[in-house]
């Protein structure tokens, strides 16, 4: 019983190892280059907006620290979360396209 199962697994492994791999020649959808251009532009614009948001929030944090309050710490967490979402979305879209 065990010997026949082992032989079956060896045969299956040999078939998988020496089988002809799937060869395909995928063609892009017409107009996909324009879509990729739009995705690229939106990724750069959103990254720039995230950077500007971090700079502005950092400046507001410095001013509020100088005044003796810490009212903008929550805003920094919100901007950082937005940056993480934008970074994650660009990674997912880059993997799909």
Q: List per-block mean pLDDT (blocks of 10 residues) for the chain, which spans 97 residues.
A: 62 53 71 83 87 88 82 81 83 72
Segments making up each domain of the chain, as ranges: 31-97
Task: Quote the pLDDT of residue 97.
Answer: 65
Do the beta carbons of residue 85 and residue 47 sit within 8 Å?
no
pLDDT tens per residue across span 43-62: 889 889 988 988 888 888 88
pTM: 0.57
Give me the sign of the Cα torsion angle 13, 19, 25, 29.
Answer: negative
Q: In whole angstroms, give the CA distance from residue 38 to residue 9.
A: 49
């Amino acid at each position: 019983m065990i010997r026949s199962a082992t032989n079956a697994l060896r045969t299956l492994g040999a078939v998988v190892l020496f089988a002809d791999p799937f060869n395909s020649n995928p063609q892009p959808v017409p107009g996909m280059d324009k879509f990729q251009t739009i995705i690229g532009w939106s990724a750069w614009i959103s990254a720039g907006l995230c950077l500007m948001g971090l700079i502005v929030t950092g400046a507001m944090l410095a001013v509020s620290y100088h005044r003796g309050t810490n009212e903008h710490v929550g805003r920094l967490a919100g901007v950082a979360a937005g940056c993480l979402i934008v970074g994650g979305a660009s990674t997912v879209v880059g993997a799909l396209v």
